[in-house]
Amino acid sequence: MLKFENEILLYLLLIVPILMAFLYWSHYRRKRMVEQSGERSLLYQLMPDFSIFRLKIKNLLYLAALSFLIIGLANPQQGSKMETVKSEGVDVMIALDVSKSMLAEDIKPNRLERAKQLINSVIENMSNDRVGLIIFAGNAYLQMPLTADYSAAKLFLQSANPDIVPTQGTAIGASIELAMESFDQETNQYKALIMITDGENHEDDAVAIAERAAAEGVVIHTIGVGSEDGAPVPIFQNGRRNGYMMDKNGEVVMTKLNTTMLENLASAASGSYFTIRGARNEIDNILRSISEMEKKEFEERMFTDYEDQFQYFIGFALLLLLLEYFISERKAGWFRNWKLFGDKKVAA
pLDDT of res. 335: 44
Quick one: pLDDT band at residue 102, thresholds 50, 70, 90? very high
Contact assessment for residue 306 and residue 77, using Cβ atoms and an 8 Å cutoff: yes
* Alpha-helix residue ranges (DSSP H) falling in 2-132: 15-37, 40-46, 52-73, 111-124
Could you give the domains of the chain?
Answer: 2-75+309-335 (no CATH), 83-301 (3.40.50.410)
DSSP secondary structure letters along 197-211: E-----SS-HHHHHH
Lowest mean pLDDT among 39-53, 100-114, 196-210: 39-53
What's residue 339's pLDDT?
44
pLDDT at 260: 92
- The per-residue pLDDT for 327 is 83
Asked whether residue 282 carries a pLDDT value surpassing 90, the answer given is no
- Identify the band that residue 318 occupies on the pLDDT scale cut at 50, 70 and 90: very high
In this prediction, residues 200-221 reach a mean pLDDT of 87
- Which amino acid, one-letter code, is at 136? F
The percent of residues above 70 in pLDDT, for the chain, comes to 82
Q: Within 10 Å of residue 338's Cβ, how many Cβ atoms?
A: 12
How many Cβ atoms from other residues are within 10 Å of residue 127's Cβ?
A: 10
| DSSP codes of every residue in 310-348 | HHHHHHHHHHHHHHHHH--SBPPGGGTT---TTPPPPP-
User: Tell me, what's the pLDDT at 39?
Assistant: 57
pLDDT at res. 152: 87
The whole-number average pLDDT for the span 72-97 is 83
pLDDT in tens, 134-193: 999 989 999 999 988 888 899 899 989 998 998 888 889 999 999 999 998 878 888 999
Per-residue pLDDT averaged across 301-311, rounded? 76
Instruction: Write the pLDDT tens digit of every residue in 25-72.
Output: 887 787 777 666 655 555 555 555 556 777 788 889 999 999 999 999
Q: What is the pLDDT of residue 70?
A: 95
In three-state secondary structure terms, 93 is strand
pTM, to two decimals: 0.65
